[in-house]
Structure 1
């Protein structure tokens, strides 16, 4: 009886009893179009895992690693591919250390290489599932921290991991010298970013919309940044102190509602191609089969501001304690969507938008100490 009265009152007043609300983009996340205004350095489909190893800028595209070189153009300094080498299987993550490059190859293991690939050694660790390594970071020259997004789905199956409400991610500490690995955290909901800060780690936990901190041994876990309006991804250190946090896709109330409808979600997963699920995406607008199309999203060929947003571009500058300071966005009608990686090089931040297939540059580094 009480429940019926509560539902009737909620319907009358417009309350949401399903828990499908999403925190607003406000304060440090106030909307802007800074990523769309940033200069495009290179158009490269499926660009991912931007890292700076020594003086060399590297990125991955599917099963290849590309070495990038600066080029001068009419719009300033751009990038071009100077060399590419194949890894045989998809590259899911890369991390740069002191003249070392760690490359996670799906289903194969983690390779420790020189930046040019002249030397390469494969590390296979039986307990660590190499099909879903989402992020890595060097604690020192002999210690590598590894985030495994899920032990049930591959890295490219992140949508399935979200829509099946899986929480089977873990964090591992690898001793490169002894070839041993220790799990320091488990039961995480798709850890997709990791960074080392002195004696602690920051880990982005995508499906719980938060960044957590913990000790190098996995102790003292606590929420550093929570209740985010988007899914947090990789984290990169900032040269002036603090961090850069990528959020690869936005949350929206319709997806939050579908996550609570188990039978509907089960039938959707079983009968529909993942590209057309009611789920977040790295890029949208490529097919009329996507959900909520036509007049539901556009009027007079302009995107309605209230229509559901499936993809955006979002990079957040955070301070040393992971508090948000400012952000750089590409909104629903922009074209720098699905940011999955970034790195600082040459006094600017390079941002890799995998969804849109672009590398853009942010020059606002000097004078913005967090």
Structure 2
């Protein structure tokens, strides 16, 4: 009886009984189009894993590991070297001349000066879903694994099947010994170090965790309106955080409708699921929300969307300060990697295939 009365009252007042509401884009996340106004340094399909290395800027595009250099006028990037790997590159970490490369299906390869690359075999770690890595020192590597059940390229399937099997590992690259320091994560998608703290982006729970020593993790950021991904430290203190796709109330609702969700996963191609995406508008078969998207044949910047561009500046405790965005009608969507170089932040928008530069001092 009480439940029936509550439901009737909720329907009258418009309460959300499904728990599918999404936090508003407000405060430091107030909508803007700053990311679209930034200079484009390079157009590169599938750009991912931007990493500063001793000999230039590294990145990946599918199976290719690329080295980028700055053009003479410093306004563009040029491709200076290309290496083909045995599978899609899913993460890169560099410290000095040491390099760790994660390849889907093969695991982690270690490279150092004067030595051939060697595989790092870790029992219990899914070699197909390493999503982020960071060196703490020349022999200590922290590794984020998105899922034990799916490959990194199947991130949509991991969300829609609720696997909750992500983890964070501490690896001694010299001996090969590895320790799982946190498990049961809903897609660990990013890592950053700050003193004794390890920040971990838990994408499907829309939050960033902080680990300190052997203590229980604390929540550094929660109830985010988008899915957090990779992080990188800033030379002026604090961090940069990429959120690779926005949350959507319809997706949140579908995640609660188990029978519908299972049938969707079993019978429809992932590109056409009611699910977040790195880029949209590529096919008329994509799910849309009718008149909510366009008016007078113009795509509304505030319309519901599966993809967006979002880069957030955070302080040293991961509190958000400001953001740079590409809204529904923008063209810098699906930012998955960030890297500081030459006093600027370099952002890789994998969805749109663009590398853009953010001058934080002048653009704030």
TM-score, reference length from structure 2: 0.96
Equivalent position of 1:353 in the other structure: 349
1:209 and 2:206 matched = yes
- Once the two structures are superposed, residues 29-48 of structure 1 have per-residue CA deviations (whole angstroms, 9 ceiling, x without a partner) of 11111110000000000000
Give the drift of 1:53.
0.9
1:94 and 2:80 matched = no
CA distance, structure 1, for counterparts of residue 289 and residue 65 of structure 2: 36
Which residue of 171, 187, 190 maps to 1:190?
187
Equivalent position of 1:68 in the other structure: 68
Equivalent position of 2:28 in the other structure: 28
Q: Is the 8 A contact 2:221 2:319 kept in 1?
A: yes
- Once the two structures are superposed, residues 100-136 of structure 1 have per-residue CA deviations (whole angstroms, 9 ceiling, x without a partner) of 1110011212111248x97422212222211100001
Q: Is the 8 A contact 2:301 2:327 kept in 1?
A: no
Q: Is the 8 A contact 1:254 1:308 kept in 2?
A: no
Q: Secondary structure at the match of 2:281?
A: coil
CA distance, structure 2, for counterparts of residue 312 and residue 126 of structure 1: 37
9-18 or 282-291, which deviates more? 9-18
**Where does 1:221-300 land on structure 2 (aligned, <5 Å)?**
221-292=217-288, 295-300=291-296
* 216 and 108 in structure 1: CA distance in 2 versus 1, 3 angstrom threshold: farther
Which residue of 75, 83, 86 maps to 1:85?
83
* 238 and 26 in structure 1: CA distance in 2 versus 1, 3 angstrom threshold: same
Equivalent position of 1:57 in the other structure: 57
CA distance, structure 1, for counterparts of residue 196 and residue 292 of structure 2: 50
Q: Is the 8 A contact 1:192 1:206 kept in 2?
A: yes
Q: Is the 8 A contact 1:128 1:181 kept in 2?
A: no
Give the drift of 1:365.
4.3
CA distance, structure 1, for counterparts of residue 353 and residue 10 of structure 2: 44
CA distance, structure 2, for counterparts of residue 366 and residue 346 of structure 1: 15
Give the drift of 1:163.
0.8
1:325 and 2:326 matched = no
Give the drift of 1:96.
1.2
Q: Is the 8 A contact 2:277 2:334 kept in 1?
A: yes
Equivalent position of 1:179 in the other structure: 176
CA distance, structure 2, for counterparts of residue 336 and residue 277 of structure 1: 22
Give the drift of 1:98.
2.3
* 336 and 281 in structure 1: CA distance in 2 versus 1, 3 angstrom threshold: same
CA distance, structure 2, for counterparts of residue 216 and residue 83 of structure 1: 39
* 326 and 296 in structure 1: CA distance in 2 versus 1, 3 angstrom threshold: closer
CA distance, structure 1, for counterparts of residue 343 and residue 182 of structure 2: 35
TM-score, reference length from structure 1: 0.95
Q: Is the 8 A contact 1:64 1:84 kept in 2?
A: yes
Q: CA RMSD in A?
A: 1.7
Equivalent position of 2:19 in the other structure: 19
Equivalent position of 1:120 in the other structure: 117
Unaligned runs of 5+ in 1: none
Equivalent position of 1:111 in the other structure: 109
CA distance, structure 2, for counterparts of residue 212 and residue 118 of structure 1: 36
64-73 or 327-336, which deviates more? 64-73
Q: Is the 8 A contact 1:108 1:124 kept in 2?
A: no
**Where does 1:141-180 land on structure 2 (aligned, <5 Å)?**
141-180=138-177
Give the drift of 1:176.
0.6
* 367 and 48 in structure 1: CA distance in 2 versus 1, 3 angstrom threshold: closer
Equivalent position of 1:308 in the other structure: 304
CA distance, structure 2, for counterparts of residue 32 and residue 334 of structure 1: 10
How many correspondences in the alignment?
Answer: 364
* 306 and 340 in structure 1: CA distance in 2 versus 1, 3 angstrom threshold: closer
CA distance, structure 2, for counterparts of residue 82 and residue 306 of structure 1: 39
CA distance, structure 2, for counterparts of residue 113 and residue 123 of structure 1: 10
CA distance, structure 2, for counterparts of residue 295 and residue 28 of structure 1: 29
CA distance, structure 2, for counterparts of residue 365 and residue 345 of structure 1: 14
Unaligned runs of 5+ in 2: none
CA distance, structure 2, for counterparts of residue 318 and residue 254 of structure 1: 28
